[in-house]
């Protein structure tokens, strides 16, 4: 059974919490008489000026602590909520297409509106209870990120592998009525939720603009481990080109009609279909960047600024890796940066044999693929790896290799950089300073 209250993970030195003798390991049970279930409750209830904490100490003692909320914060932090898992069996689910034998957390299928609010995780809201919906409204958990996929209920049930779903438009209507802002997405499965079904979904969601603030269409991802699952058509080069030709004009029509940026196509459609990206201004304030929408246009814009300010560097030869699909764009930048800085930089596109040829994005490149891909390519003494290849906070690739494993396998020094033109240049500058201080 889950322990009651919210576990305090850390207490900042010199904070009010430390002064009040609150300690890591204590459990916060109530604030002003309200049960604290998670960090959202904590943030919600600590907005009052006068606070009464009920805390369970490590030895089981109960403490009541009364204080006025300080402007500088109370000074306690909590572990992120353990996500609830989804009961869906989406036909395109990436988790179902992972190879066996990886760490358990990689197979977790989370679906938790709290993580949607806190971290922008997409949720289907397919198993949300009336109480949870009420909580979203009461605590104004906005914005939320909702995977819609289709607004036709029968089609959505097919896509989510569920029956008797509450129609998603009903849920969206309820949230919109309370002023909750929503960002939405459609994972596009060719021949299933495209064509007329897609037109209906886009139209239905646009009718809630600006509360449904954005809609991203992203292509499904298929790996080579897709066994015993429904056969799905991939997004091919021809499909992607036709899709952009049909839907980019629709994006502009909607922009004109709604007087705002609403519909966005994932970068992958442009890369796969070899179609030029729209003007960067059409991405608005990039509400779907984390969803792979606008990353390349933003990279191109950042490249120009970085190149303009780059200066000559002195450092050993550098090898940098990327996924296959963005390679041409990054190559152009790297070649110009090498010319401007007089640095020797080799960009190597890495094929994804771990997940299969269909997977070409940088974020899903694995450690073993880097080791394979750099065999026969002299990595020089410095190997640079974009941070998007590593799981945030864990320093591990999706296949569980770490940086040290790569460095040992390739007999080189491996470094991570923030995956942006500025981040890459900054790392080169740092490495240049390090190598000149050692020489």
Tracing tokens 């996929």 back to the chain, one arrives at 149
Interacting positions 314-333 with ligand SF4 (CB under 6 A): none
Question: How do beta strands 382-386 and 318-323 pair?
Answer: parallel
Decide: 419 and 362 in contact? Cβ < 8 Å: yes
Give the range of 81-89, 240-248, 348-356, 397-405 binding ligand SF4 by CB under 6 A.
81-89
3-class secondary-structure state, position 385? strand
Q: Which is nearer to ligand SF4, 27 or 89 (CB)?
A: 89
* Closest CB to ligand SF4 among residues 111, 152: 111
Contact predicate 165/157, CB 8 Å: yes
- Minimum distance, C-beta of residue 117 to ligand SF4, in the bound complex (Å): 17
Residue selected from 46, 88, 352, 360 as contacting ligand SF4 according to rule CB under 6 A: 88
How far apart are the C-alpha atoms of 197 and 214, rounded to whole Å? 18
Residue closer to ligand SF4 (CB basis): 107 or 252: 107
Residue choice 6, 16, 20, 86 for contact with ligand SF4 (CB under 6 A): 86
Whichever of 112 and 152 has its CB closer to ligand SF4, that residue is: 112
Taking the complex as a whole, the smallest distance from the CB of residue 32 to ligand SF4 amounts, in Å, to 36
Q: Which is nearer to ligand SF4, 150 or 318 (CB)?
A: 150
Between 145 and 283, name the residue whose CB sits nearer to ligand SF4: 145
Q: Does 109 bind ligand SF4 (CB under 6 A)?
A: yes
Q: How far is the CB of 160 from ligand SF4 (least distance, A)?
A: 6
Residue 107, classified by CB atoms within 10 Å of its CB into exposed (0-12), middle (13-18) or buried (19+), is exposed
The answer to the question of residue 95 lying near ligand SF4 (CB under 6 A) is yes
CA 367/CA 351 separation, integer angstroms? 11
8 A C-beta contact, residue 292 and residue 268: yes
Binding of residue 343 to ligand SF4 (CB under 6 A) = no
Q: How far is the CB of 93 from ligand SF4 (least distance, A)?
A: 3
**DSSP H or E segment with residue 129:** none
Total length of the chain: 439
Residue with smaller CB distance to ligand SF4, 172 or 310: 172
The reply to whether 93 sits near ligand SF4 by the rule CB under 6 A is: yes
CB of 227 to ligand SF4, least distance (A): 16
CA distance 144 to 175: 10
Please tell me the count of residues contacting ligand SF4 according to CB under 6 A.
9
Which residues, 6 or more positions from 1, have their beta carbon under 8 angstroms from its beta carbon? none
Q: Could you tell me which stretch among 36-44, 89-97, 112-120, 223-231 binds ligand SF4 (CB under 6 A)?
A: 89-97
Among 36, 40, 90, 168, binds ligand SF4 (CB under 6 A): 90
Q: How far apart are CA 345 and CA 343, in angstroms?
A: 6
Q: Are 223 and 356 in contact (CB under 8 A)?
A: yes
User: Looking at 26, 41, 111, 369, which residue binds ligand SF4 (CB under 6 A)?
Assistant: 111
Region 121-140 residues binding ligand SF4, contact defined as CB under 6 A: 124
In angstroms, the CA 65 to CA 35 distance is 15
The CA distance from 103 to 253, in Å, is 45
Q: Toward ligand SF4, which CB reaches closer, 86 or 189? A: 86
CA distance linking residue 161 with residue 28, whole number of Å: 39
Q: Which residues bind ligand SF4 (CB under 6 A)?
A: 86, 88-90, 93, 95, 109, 111, 124
């Amino acid at each position: 059974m889950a322990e009651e209250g919210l576990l305090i993970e850390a207490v900042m030195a010199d904070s009010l919490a430390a002064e009040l003798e609150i300690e890591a390991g204590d459990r916060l049970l109530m604030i002003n008489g309200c049960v604290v279930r998670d960090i959202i409750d904590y943030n919600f209830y600590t907005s009052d000026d006068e606070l009464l904490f009920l805390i369970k100490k490590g030895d089981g003692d109960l403490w009541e602590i009364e204080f006025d909320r300080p402007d500088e914060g109370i000074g306690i932090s909590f572990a992120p909520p353990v996500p609830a898992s989804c009961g869906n069996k989406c036909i395109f689910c990436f988790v179902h297409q992972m190879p066996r034998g990886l760490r358990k957390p990689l197979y977790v299928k989370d679906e938790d509106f709290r993580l949607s609010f806190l971290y922008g995780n997409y949720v289907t809201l397919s198993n949300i209870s009336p109480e949870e919906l009420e909580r979203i409204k009461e605590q104004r958990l906005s914005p939320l990120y909702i995977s819609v996929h289709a607004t036709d209920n029968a089609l959505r049930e097919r896509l989510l592998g569920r029956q008797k779903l509450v129609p998603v438009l009903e849920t969206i209507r309820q949230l919109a009525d309370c002023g909750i802002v929503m960002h939405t997405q459609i994972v596009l499965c060719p021949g299933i939720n495209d064509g007329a079904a897609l037109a209906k979904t886009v139209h239905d969601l646009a009718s809630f603009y600006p509360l449904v603030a954005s809609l991203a269409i992203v292509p499904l991802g298929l790996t080579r481990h897709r066994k015993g699952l429904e056969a799905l058509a991939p997004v091919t080069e021809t499909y992607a080109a036709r899709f952009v030709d049909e839907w980019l004009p629709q994006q502009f029509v909607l922009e004109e009609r709604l007087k705002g940026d609403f519909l966005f196509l994932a970068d992958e459609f442009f890369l796969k279909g070899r179609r030029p990206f729209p003007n960067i201004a059409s991405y608005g304030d990039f509400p779907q960047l984390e969803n792979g929408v606008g990353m390349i246009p933003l990279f191109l814009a950042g490249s120009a600024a970085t190149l303009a300010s780059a200066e000559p560097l002195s450092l050993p030869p550098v090898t940098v890796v990327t996924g296959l699909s963005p390679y041409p764009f990054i190559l152009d930048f790297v070649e110009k940066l090498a010319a401007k800085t007089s640095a020797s930089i080799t960009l190597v596109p890495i094929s994804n044999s771990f997940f299969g040829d269909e997977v070409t994005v940088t974020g899903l490149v694995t450690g073993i693929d880097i080791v394979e891909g750099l065999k026969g390519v002299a990595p020089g003494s410095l190997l640079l790896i974009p941070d998007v290849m590593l799981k945030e906070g864990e320093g591990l690739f999706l296949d569980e290799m770490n940086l040290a494993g790569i460095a040992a396998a390739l007999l080189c020094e491996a470094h991570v950089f923030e995956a942006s033109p500025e981040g890459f240049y900054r790392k080169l500058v740092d490495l240049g300073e390090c190598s000149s201080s050692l020489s």
